[in-house]
Structure 1
């Protein structure tokens, strides 16, 4: 069994019982963290010099439509309604199973390169069984920890849909690819919910997913579609449980935040997409008011970049900015700030693990947990002097500072490079596939395409 020891590093464990260290060692034994403390002493293990490194838990992205990275930056200037018009109305149905594989493989590698060791793949373009199989294969081949969220076919996502979910295929994927729940990859169900499907269909989805032992996630409270009190609707059918993650939450009411908290639900916030595309302001403070600590996610990678550093900063600035604006209007001071950089790093790690149902395996540098670890090189002009290691991670660091990434004790990135990916070859494959996809769609691939907004299911219809 392989063993690795990281020596003399600054360690941010995100476990209050372990604490943080200015100079300490971390021992990896096989897939798991064995020890975290100063001066572990001689061990029979591969040695990694951690001097000048900040060691943190791997980031956890709790909601990414990874298949859309084939459309990367095509939606950079789109609203949410244009996204529905372009991605759902045009592109989704044109994806081949090979497109699903390549997009998921490249998107998962992008996540790994950015220090995201766990990815919740919100896969909602499963037009055929082959599409689902190839999406799973793309994640598995990339080698990261992943939750595959099975999320219906493209045609079933036009709001407000009364089309039933294909649970024969959900059960097949569960049986074929995820017979257990203890592997590097696990399965969940990405439901449309009452914003995008009827309440009867939603209830059927929730009950059947739970019969298969699948955690559930859904979009709730985003944009014009999120104004219909989706959490209240779920509550009316007795569907709220602690196995559910609510994505966005921007337009939920205070009573809905309380319902989520009281039933043990978790939340995933995608502040950059929310602010850019018109979902609403980040729901951070509304959730925290009732004791629900959110996680962080990237969301539509056809619109925004795929790294956690940007998402942490935007969520923090958006949350603080909202409160500061209110205080200015009252001629008041904000003291102290409502969230700290440690809070934000907690959202990106510990709370991400909770939202994925993986808090016993990952999210902190706790002995006994899986060794999902990121090492950040501070010998860079944007990083030193290190006056506050957590502040450096959240406010200063970027993907270029990531030296090493471990997933379950296996080195996936070393000295700033992925160790098992032909990135140049992948670019050629992606360019050819994107050319073919846009040609099938009959739309330009130069940023000038602005789809017609899709507003069915809203008051703007």
Structure 2
């Protein structure tokens, strides 16, 4: 099957392909086969990309989609309040159905806003049934997803059997839903357990992801390096407070860094590491984190990261930000050979953004427009592995009314069981208070 996207403004994110003021993209059997000013393919299905930016879909490498039912509830929360609310108050009342519908709606929202690849950082850790519900939801959403299993979250128990169980289900790495491992880290389990978990991850062929923070006196990256535990298959999430020296350690090890700008700034994690990471030779990536506290689209994330760093030193350009959210994030997920740019031979994970919308018209600089003024309303068409999953601004073959009803029922049931008010007054008391 052939599909020809024709007449769009192509932003390829591949220096060898370049950008085209007017270009065509030919897709065959789910793979990009040609990108040029003009492509002849009389036997292809045609998608008219006139008045559209044609670019690779966004890659979000860190999101906790199980929390979708409480979208916006945490707009005013600090990090300790978020932990008390979602992990201490709401999570104990989550049933597998709640995990399923939250994950599914969260993944569909990401697709709707142009995120073709998403790493779902699961840390509900209630039962095998909860894990299976999350995997089922990702399979039912037509996106490229990575189920990052945070097994045994915040407990010191060995998780070998649980990791092996899920890996046996997600044993292949070529499908649309693959697996990674969300490590608990030395603060929760001790350094010896981190070493054991990394050993098992290597045995099972799993990439890993790890949340880290520092108050300036701690040296979590240096401690891991001293034990020989830095890997080029690990993405470190947040990292606020770590030193420039530790950032260079991550760069030397080939590790990745995921920055969640809105969450980190709002919840008091500290200054973003974007500029310091680049200075250390590390390509940062961008992620949403959690939607109870912030918006779930990559456009606002790009804008926050751009404004925050430019306000500090003026050292970033709009194309840098777009690279963070496409090619660099794909690399952090081990998927740079498959997605992240419009490169012949890669899977056709492509989004078409409207340029005739009044919020961006006229588009003079496509990259600058996406980063400075883009929003989900521009996302007209989305392809994942060549399949059209959003067309003319609407998701394809998705019963949103039924799913909305299920999500509201889920939220209301959890809230009633946990004693959570739904009138905008919920301010959970943090454990330290």
TM bucket by the smaller chain? over 0.9
1:181-204: CA deviation from partner (whole Å, max 9, x where unpaired)? 111111110112124432233222
Taking structure 2 as the reference length, what is the TM-score of the superposition? 0.97
Higher mean C-alpha displacement, 389-398 vs 11-20: 389-398
- Residue 186 of structure 1 aligns to a residue whose secondary structure is strand
CA shift for structure 1 position 206: 2.0
1:38-95: CA deviation from partner (whole Å, max 9, x where unpaired)? 1112431111111111001000001000111122112111100111111111112211
Give the corresponding residue for 2:307.
317
1:106-160: CA deviation from partner (whole Å, max 9, x where unpaired)? 100000000000000001112111111110000110110011100024xx42xxx
Matched, 1:308 2:298: yes
Give the corresponding residue for 1:327.
none
1:381-432: CA deviation from partner (whole Å, max 9, x where unpaired)? 1111121010111111211111100000000000000012111221111111
Give the corresponding residue for 1:429.
406
Matched, 1:201 2:201: no
- Residue 307 of structure 2 aligns to a residue whose secondary structure is helix
Q: How does 1:3-82 map to 2 (within 5 A)?
A: 3-82=2-81
- Residue 67 of structure 1 aligns to a residue whose secondary structure is helix
Give the corresponding residue for 1:124.
123
Q: CA RMSD in A?
A: 1.4
CA distance in structure 1 between the aligned counterparts of 2:290 and 2:197, rounded to whole angstroms: 23
Can you give the 5+ residue segments of structure 2 that lack an aligned partner in the other structure? none
CA distance in structure 2 between the aligned counterparts of 1:42 and 1:144, rounded to whole angstroms: 27
CA distance in structure 2 between the aligned counterparts of 1:227 and 1:80, rounded to whole angstroms: 19
1:360-395: CA deviation from partner (whole Å, max 9, x where unpaired)? 000000000000000011111111112101011111
- Residue 11 of structure 1 aligns to a residue whose secondary structure is strand
CA distance in structure 1 between the aligned counterparts of 2:29 and 2:61, rounded to whole angstroms: 26
Check whether the contact 2:96–2:133 (CA below 8 A) recurs between aligned residues: yes
Matched, 1:370 2:363: no
Check whether the contact 2:348–2:383 (CA below 8 A) recurs between aligned residues: yes
CA distance in structure 1 between the aligned counterparts of 2:42 and 2:328, rounded to whole angstroms: 33
CA distance in structure 2 between the aligned counterparts of 1:195 and 1:355, rounded to whole angstroms: 23
Give the corresponding residue for 1:236.
226
1:259-287: CA deviation from partner (whole Å, max 9, x where unpaired)? 10000011111000000001111101111
Give the corresponding residue for 1:170.
163
Match of 2:359 among 355, 377, 382: 382
Check whether the contact 1:164–1:201 (CA below 8 A) recurs between aligned residues: no
Check whether the contact 2:4–2:41 (CA below 8 A) recurs between aligned residues: no
Equivalent pairs counted in the alignment come to 433
CA distance in structure 2 between the aligned counterparts of 1:34 and 1:138, rounded to whole angstroms: 31
Check whether the contact 1:244–1:266 (CA below 8 A) recurs between aligned residues: yes
Check whether the contact 1:11–1:20 (CA below 8 A) recurs between aligned residues: yes
- Residue 180 of structure 1 aligns to a residue whose secondary structure is coil
CA shift for structure 1 position 454: 2.8
Taking structure 1 as the reference length, what is the TM-score of the superposition? 0.91
CA distance in structure 1 between the aligned counterparts of 2:322 and 2:74, rounded to whole angstroms: 28
Check whether the contact 1:79–1:278 (CA below 8 A) recurs between aligned residues: yes
Give the corresponding residue for 2:288.
298
Check whether the contact 1:64–1:120 (CA below 8 A) recurs between aligned residues: yes
Give the corresponding residue for 1:410.
387
- Residue 335 of structure 2 aligns to a residue whose secondary structure is coil
CA distance in structure 2 between the aligned counterparts of 1:365 and 1:446, rounded to whole angstroms: 45
CA shift for structure 1 position 227: 5.4
CA distance in structure 1 between the aligned counterparts of 2:62 and 2:26, rounded to whole angstroms: 31
- Residue 387 of structure 1 aligns to a residue whose secondary structure is coil
Check whether the contact 2:73–2:424 (CA below 8 A) recurs between aligned residues: yes
Matched, 1:271 2:248: no
1:205-241: CA deviation from partner (whole Å, max 9, x where unpaired)? 222222211101101126x5x8522111211221101
Higher mean C-alpha displacement, 234-243 vs 303-312: 234-243
CA distance in structure 2 between the aligned counterparts of 1:164 and 1:14, rounded to whole angstroms: 43
Give the corresponding residue for 2:135.
136
Matched, 1:438 2:412: no
Q: Which runs of 4+ in 1 moved over 3 A?
A: none
CA distance in structure 2 between the aligned counterparts of 1:122 and 1:443, rounded to whole angstroms: 24
Q: How does 1:344-355 map to 2 (within 5 A)?
A: 344-355=321-332
Give the corresponding residue for 2:429.
452
Higher mean C-alpha displacement, 111-120 vs 436-445: 436-445
Higher mean C-alpha displacement, 70-79 vs 260-269: 70-79
CA distance in structure 2 between the aligned counterparts of 1:180 and 1:149, rounded to whole angstroms: 14
